[in-house]
């Protein structure tokens, strides 16, 4: 159990750090509010980059699940589900988004699944808040 906790903490901390880096880079790359620019292009670019970062984080968690299951024997996804990387990617995506349409994993992968869901909902909320702030800037009357 200790090993799965350490792996999960590592996955969570790297995802949170990566998300902080992504948002800080997006803030740095956004044009100044007073400079003329296309609000649509800015918003679309931010949205595409945020979704790309979410996909990278899902792949990161899927890799953690895959290695934990295949190499470390910490559990499996379920009897009716395969154990290929795409199965772990699907499980990670529905867990990260808190959709919850995947099989119940066995062993210590249950703990890892619960922590990914918690991390995912926090990161998704963080991204939504950031995107809202980008959109809010473009709606101000003093902004061209």
Residue 96 has a pLDDT of 93
Task: Give the whole-number percent of the chain exceeding pLDDT 90.
Answer: 52
Note the Cα 22 to chain centre separation in Å: 11
Note the Cα 50 to chain centre separation in Å: 9
Residue 144 has a pLDDT of 46
What gap in Å lies between CA 39 and CA 131, rounded to an integer? 12
More confident residue, 124 or 103: 124
- DSSP 3-state of 105: coil
Does position 141 have pLDDT exceeding 60, yes or no?
A: no
Burial class (CB in 10 A: 0-12, 13-18, 19+), 129: exposed
Query: pLDDT tens for residues 14-73?
Result: 999 999 999 999 988 877 666 666 677 778 888 999 999 999 999 999 999 999 988 998
What gap in Å lies between CA 123 and CA 20, rounded to an integer? 10
Does position 126 have pLDDT exceeding 80, yes or no?
A: yes
What gap in Å lies between CA 138 and CA 84, rounded to an integer? 44
Residue 143 has a pLDDT of 47
- DSSP 3-state of 25: helix
In this prediction the pTM is 0.86
User: Which phi and psi (to 5°) does residue 137 adopt?
Assistant: -60, -35
Domain made up of 46-134: CATH architecture: Orthogonal Bundle (1.10)
C-alpha dihedral (86, 91, 93, 97), degrees to nearest 10: 170
Q: Where are the domains of the chain?
A: 46-134
Does position 142 have pLDDT exceeding 50, yes or no?
A: no
More confident residue, 141 or 65: 65
Tell me the average pLDDT across 77-82: 77
Task: Give the whole-number percent of the chain exceeding pLDDT 70.
Answer: 89
């Amino acid at each position: 159990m200790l090993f799965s906790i350490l792996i999960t903490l590592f996955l969570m901390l790297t995802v949170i750090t990566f998300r902080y880096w992504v948002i800080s880079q997006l803030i740095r790359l956004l044009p100044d509010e007073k400079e003329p620019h296309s609000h649509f292009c800015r918003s679309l670019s931010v949205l595409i980059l945020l979704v790309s970062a979410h996909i990278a984080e899902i792949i990161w968690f899927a890799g953690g699940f895959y290695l934990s299951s295949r190499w470390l024997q910490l559990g499996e996804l379920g009897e009716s589900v395969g154990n290929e990387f795409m199965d772990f990617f699907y499980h990670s995506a529905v867990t990260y988004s808190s959709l919850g349409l995947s099989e119940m994993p066995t062993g210590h992968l249950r703990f890892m699944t619960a922590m990914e869901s918690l991390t995912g909902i926090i990161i998704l909320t963080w991204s939504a808040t950031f995107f809202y702030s980008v959109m809010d800037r473009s709606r101000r009357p003093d902004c061209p």
